[in-house]
Chains A and B, each alone.
Chain A
């Protein structure tokens, strides 16, 4: 069964450093998303991406965040200057024309 894959599974970084989280969505999907989940809290929408541009973003997705689809398979989330409060599980998701979100296993980001 096709799946969304995310790398790395864990990332530890120092405050102020840049991180790039990587995702490979399901190959025939057209819509891509990033979500985050702070420990013990609900899953929060960050951004959606379609046709090589951002289609929707939340208040959380400020100027320190950016997304890119550098080639035909990868979808990345960059955090330019990490803060302690960016520590969370980051989930990538994709969906196709049939609807329904498919999530990756997540990247646990720890900012020290």
Chain B
């Protein structure tokens, strides 16, 4: 099956700092999403981004489908950004998650 690798696995940021999270995948995909899992376990959809670039406030994402990677940018991080960020790719009806990047933003 398709392999999804996320890096870094863990990240500690000072509040206000910027960061880039990466997702590599091993095969062509129909869909790619970024999710934030908050401390209560909820999966919050951040971006549906099979290709191109999108921005939503302090977050933006870029997917280069031909090179099989996606990047999630967090600017001016806040403590509420803490949690686990998952990349999930879909090939036909099967969606595979990466293992996530655990982000901790400290004041």
User: A35 to B100, alpha carbons, bound, how many Å?
Assistant: 15
**Is B43 in the interface zone, CB < 8 Å from A?**
yes
Cβ–Cβ < 8 Å partners of A100 in chain B: 31, 33, 45, 48
Interface residues of A in 91-112 (CB under 8 A from B): 91, 99-103, 105-106, 108
Beta-carbon contact of A56 and B33 below 8 Å? no
Mark interface residues in B74-93 (1 if CB within 8 Å of A CB, else 0). 00000000000010101011
Beta-carbon contact of A103 and B31 below 8 Å? no
Total interface residues on B, CB under 8 Å, equals 22
User: A44 to B48, alpha carbons, bound, how many Å?
Assistant: 19
Main SS of chain A's interface residues? strand
**Is A65 in the interface zone, CB < 8 Å from B?**
no
With contacts A42-B98, A42-B99, A43-B43 taken as known, whether A101 is within 8 angstroms of B88 at the C-beta atoms is: yes
Beta-carbon contact of B95 and A101 below 8 Å? yes
B90, B92, B95, B99 interface centre (most CB from chain A within 10 Å): B95
Min CB–CB distance A81 → chain B (angstroms): 26
In this complex, what residue of B is CB-closest to A33? B95
**Is B96 in the interface zone, CB < 8 Å from A?**
yes
User: A107 to B59, alpha carbons, bound, how many Å?
Assistant: 28
Cβ–Cβ < 8 Å partners of A41 in chain B: 99
Q: A residues bordering B, Cβ < 8 Å?
A: 31, 33, 35, 37, 41-45, 48, 50, 55-56, 58, 89, 91, 99-103, 105-106, 108
